[in-house]
Amino acid sequence: MTRPINFGAGPSALPESVLKEAANGLLDFEGTGIGIAEISHRSKQFTAFVKKTETLIRTQLNVPSTHEILFTQGGGTGQFSAVVYNFLARHRLLHPDDGEPVLDYVVTGSWSKKASEEARRLVGGSRVHIAGDGRREGKTFTRIPGHSEYSFSPNAALIYYCENETVDGVQFSHDPSAPASFPFDRLPTTAALLPLVADYSSSFMSRPIPRLADHALIFAGAQKNIGPAGLTILIVRQDCLVDVDAAAALGAPPVPISMAYNVIADAASLYNTPSVLALYISGLVLDRSLNLGGVQYYEQLNRRKADKVYAALRDGEARAIFRPKVEHGSRSWMNVVFDVLGDGAEARFIAGAEQLNMKALKGHRSVGGIRVSLYNAITEEQTDRLVAYIRQFT
Ligand code: PMP
334 CA to centre of ligand 1 in angstroms: 14
Q: What is the pLDDT of residue 99?
A: 83
Q: What is the pLDDT of residue 137?
A: 79
172 burial class (0-12, 13-18, 19+ CB within 10 angstroms)?
buried
Span(s) in the chain for CATH 3.90.1150.10: 294-392
Q: Which of 108, 110, 166 to mutate to test ligand 1, by most ligand atoms within 8 A of the CB atom? A: 166
3-state SS class at 230? coil
- Using CB distances shorter than 6 Å, the residues near ligand 1 are 10, 75-77, 111, 162, 166, 199, 201-202, 221
126 CA to centre of ligand 1 in angstroms: 25
Nearest residue by C-alpha to atom 5 in ligand 1? 166
220 CA to centre of ligand 1 in angstroms: 8
Q: Distance between CA 157 and CA 88 in Å, rounded? A: 6
Q: Distance between CA 314 and CA 187 in Å, rounded? A: 35
Total Cβ atoms within 10 A of residue 348: 14
Q: Distance between CA 286 and CA 52 in Å, rounded? A: 10
- Which is the closest atom of ligand 1 to the Cα of 109? 3
| Tens digits of pLDDT across the chain (394 residues) | 789 999 999 999 999 999 999 999 999 999 999 999 999 999 999 999 999 999 999 999 999 999 999 999 999 999 999 999 999 999 999 999 998 999 999 999 999 999 999 999 999 999 999 999 999 877 899 999 999 999 999 999 999 999 999 999 999 999 999 999 999 999 998 667 999 999 999 999 999 999 999 999 999 999 999 999 999 999 999 999 999 999 999 999 999 999 999 999 999 999 999 999 999 999 999 999 999 999 999 999 999 999 999 999 999 898 999 999 999 999 999 999 999 999 999 999 999 999 999 999 999 999 999 999 999 999 999 999 999 999 999 9
Q: Are 216 and 196 in contact (CB under 8 A)?
A: yes
11 CA to centre of ligand 1 in angstroms: 10
- Which is the closest atom of ligand 1 to the Cα of 162? 3
Q: Distance between CA 104 and CA 131 in Å, rounded? A: 6
- Indicate the helix (H) or strand (E) that contains 217: strand 217-221
Q: What is the pLDDT of residue 190?
A: 66
- Listing from the earlier edge strand, what are the strands of the sheet with 196-199? 67-72, 232-237, 217-221, 196-199, 158-162, 103-107, 128-133
378 CA to centre of ligand 1 in angstroms: 19
* 8: nearest Cα among 312, 378, 388: 378
Q: Distance between CA 149 and CA 131 in Å, rounded? A: 9
Q: What is the pLDDT of residue 139?
A: 85
User: How do beta strands 370-373 and 335-340 pair?
Assistant: antiparallel
Q: What is the pLDDT of residue 191?
A: 64
Total Cβ atoms within 10 A of residue 245: 15
Q: Which of 117, 118, 202 to mutate to test ligand 1, by most ligand atoms within 8 A of the CB atom? A: 202
**Known catalytic residues?**
111, 199, 224
In degrees and rounded to multiples of 5, residue 58 shows phi and psi of -60, -45
State how far Cα 191 lies from the chain centre: 26
- Which is the closest atom of ligand 1 to the Cα of 164? 3
15 CA to centre of ligand 1 in angstroms: 21
Q: Which residue type occupies 19?
A: L
Q: Does domain 24-290 have CATH number 3.40.640.10?
A: yes
Kindly list the distances between the CA atom of residue 270 and the CA atoms of 40, 143, 222, in Å, as whole numbers in the listed order. 11, 39, 17
Q: Which of 72, 73, 77, 225 to mutate to test ligand 1, by most ligand atoms within 8 A of the CB atom? A: 77
Nearest residue by C-alpha to atom 3 in ligand 1? 201
- At the top level of CATH, the class of 294-392 is alpha beta
- pTM equals 0.98
Q: What is the ipTM of this complex?
A: 0.99
Nearest residue by C-alpha to atom 15 in ligand 1? 75
